[in-house]
Structure 1
Amino acid sequence: MTDREFDSAPATASSAAFVDVPGVRNLRDAAGTGGAGRLRPGRLYRSGSLHGLTPEGAQRLKAVGLRTVIDLRSPAELDTFPDLRHGLDHDLLHLPTFPVDRESVDTPWPDDQAGLYLYLPEFAGPSIAATIRRLITPGALPALVHCAVGKDRTGITIAVIQHLLGATDAEITADFLLSNTGLGLLDGPSPYIDEAGTERISRPVTATLLHSALTWIRDTHGSITAYVHAAGVTEAEVAALRVALGD
């Protein structure tokens, strides 16, 4: 699929997939409204962090039966903005997407958004593999995967899972781009405060960014399925994921 085809991909996902949970940004069903392959609604959700979750929001999460929250953020982000529970009893797993010690890897930290989307798939494999293993654990669903705002680290993780459930690139792209709606980025970049208290700029996601990440995966590993295999996920685990999340 070319950049042009990605950018013109039909919007099969829908803003109806969003779930209104006070204090949580960009929360939606990863199945959309039926446009993400065989991924069944009500099994896997995606969002920004739960550090602003309100008591009312917690009751709404309780109503969907949430059993697992997978947090892809760094330890520094967790220390500054820990998830809130307000009495919820779900399991919480910390599976950071990026290397905890960035100095321990040869690839330099990217200095722009385009570089980020090549850095992401290079290092996300272990976190995605651990996420898959958790999702197929009995009693783990429904589950919520989140990072800080739910668009980049969460976006790539969910994109890989959607692909394994049979979603097309166009369907994956349509869901990915909904983060611009969920984060108020349809009109362009917006400021935010990072874990160090510094004001930074959150930029909209684009189809081309997703395409670059998926192309890196396919060029490096041959396929997205081979990518998760290289991270240690077995074919039996992929099959179990399809049973757990599929229709």
Structure 2
Amino acid sequence: MSISGAERLIPVPGVRNLRDAGGFLTEGGARVAESLLYRAGSLHELTPEGAQRLAQLGLRTVIDLRSAPELEVWPDHRLDGEVVFLHLPTFPPRERADADAADAEAEAEAAAEAAKERDAEAGEETLEDLYAFMSATAGPAIAATVSALAAPGALPALVHCAVGKDRTGVTVATLLSALGVADADIVADYHLSNTGLGLDLGPVYYVDEHGNERRSRPVHEGLITTFLASLRATHGNASQYLLAHGVKAGELEALHAAFL
């Protein structure tokens, strides 16, 4: 299939940026199975017709990567059947436990203010700041999501954040890399969010959970390649990154058996 083509997007009323995360060849010559893992934006605008179409995917698990305040303002619409909803936020709470962390946050906020740009899913950082923040802090959350996908009966599953491009992007990219998918295909899948959200036509403005207007900007290749380079610099590869943050070896083996 065409990895980067817009035909991969699945039209479901009330769900943005929905697509299958499978279908990719791995460096070992295997293929990531389709119809097991989907990625998207949130389900809070899901329509009755959309719910019927989503039911056709046979989902067993929905993993929500958004923050608690986002869930409070925009809760997912529930789905018929025995679908398990898990909340595994990518971002840690903004409160910091010590002065050093507070100083680091202040520096990041100052840099973001100087840049005069805002991101859809972080609110205060530029996209570059956001990805640096996720690189430094998101390991446990990504690992928790991967472990949840490895649980018996968890698949097919849907992983989503607010619009399905940044938090979902790094989570899916890490999993695909651990399964052996080449960076070029990971980047192509990641970049498809621009089409899925209409960001290929320019920034999209929206109101966040606090009532503030924010600007969602297109993603670019350097964001995800820098993220992957960071986890390799610290842990060698995506599999070791996941193991270091709590995924068990047996869970990785189960995911390889299920997906490849």
**TM superposition score normalised by structure 1:** 0.90
**For the Cα contact (< 8 Å) 2:40–2:159, is it kept in 1?**
yes
> Which of 154, 158, 168 does residue 144 from structure 1 map onto?
158
Distance across 1 between alignment mates of 2:69 and 2:16: 20
For residue 103 of structure 1, give the secondary structure of its aligned residue in structure 2.
coil
TM superposition shift of 1:226 = 1.6
CA root-mean-square deviation: 1.6
TM superposition shift of 1:133 = 1.5
- How many residues are matched? 234
For residue 138 of structure 2, give the secondary structure of its aligned residue in structure 1.
helix
Structure 2 residue identity aligned to 1:244: A
Partner residue in 2 for 1:49: 42
For residue 144 of structure 1, give the secondary structure of its aligned residue in structure 2.
strand
For residue 63 of structure 2, give the secondary structure of its aligned residue in structure 1.
strand
Distance across 2 between alignment mates of 1:236 and 1:98: 26
1:56-107 Cα shifts (integer Å, max 9, x gaps): 1111111110110000000000000000125354100000001124323724
Partner residue in 2 for 1:14: 5
Map of 1:1-247 to 2, 5 A cutoff?
Answer: 12-31=3-22, 34-35=23-24, 37=26, 38-85=31-78, 87-104=80-97, 106=101, 107-108=104-105, 111=112, 112-246=126-260
1:115-153 Cα shifts (integer Å, max 9, x gaps): 111111221111111111111112111100000000000
Runs of at least 5 residues in structure 1 that lack an aligned partner in the other structure: 1-10
Distance across 2 between alignment mates of 1:243 and 1:226: 18
Distance across 2 between alignment mates of 1:202 and 1:168: 27
Using the aligned pairs only, state the percent identity.
52
For residue 131 of structure 2, give the secondary structure of its aligned residue in structure 1.
helix
Distance across 2 between alignment mates of 1:197 and 1:87: 31
Distance across 2 between alignment mates of 1:28 and 1:221: 29
- Give 4+ residue runs of structure 1 displaced > 4 Å after superposition: none
For residue 130 of structure 1, give the secondary structure of its aligned residue in structure 2.
helix
**Could you say if the C-alpha distance between residues 36 and 188 of structure 1 is closer, same or farther in structure 2, counting changes exceeding 3 Å?**
farther
Structure 1 residue identity aligned to 2:5: S
Distance across 2 between alignment mates of 1:124 and 1:36: 26
Distance across 1 between alignment mates of 2:87 and 2:79: 19
Distance across 1 between alignment mates of 2:162 and 2:216: 11
**Could you say if the C-alpha distance between residues 126 and 171 of structure 1 is closer, same or farther in structure 2, counting changes exceeding 3 Å?**
same
**For the Cα contact (< 8 Å) 1:53–1:85, is it kept in 2?**
no
**For the Cα contact (< 8 Å) 2:42–2:161, is it kept in 1?**
yes
**For the Cα contact (< 8 Å) 1:13–1:175, is it kept in 2?**
yes
**For the Cα contact (< 8 Å) 2:135–2:227, is it kept in 1?**
yes
**Could you say if the C-alpha distance between residues 54 and 88 of structure 1 is closer, same or farther in structure 2, counting changes exceeding 3 Å?**
farther
Which is greater in Rg? 2
Structure 1 residue identity aligned to 2:34: P
TM superposition shift of 1:36 = 5.1
Distance across 2 between alignment mates of 1:86 and 1:162: 27
**Could you say if the C-alpha distance between residues 20 and 238 of structure 1 is closer, same or farther in structure 2, counting changes exceeding 3 Å?**
same
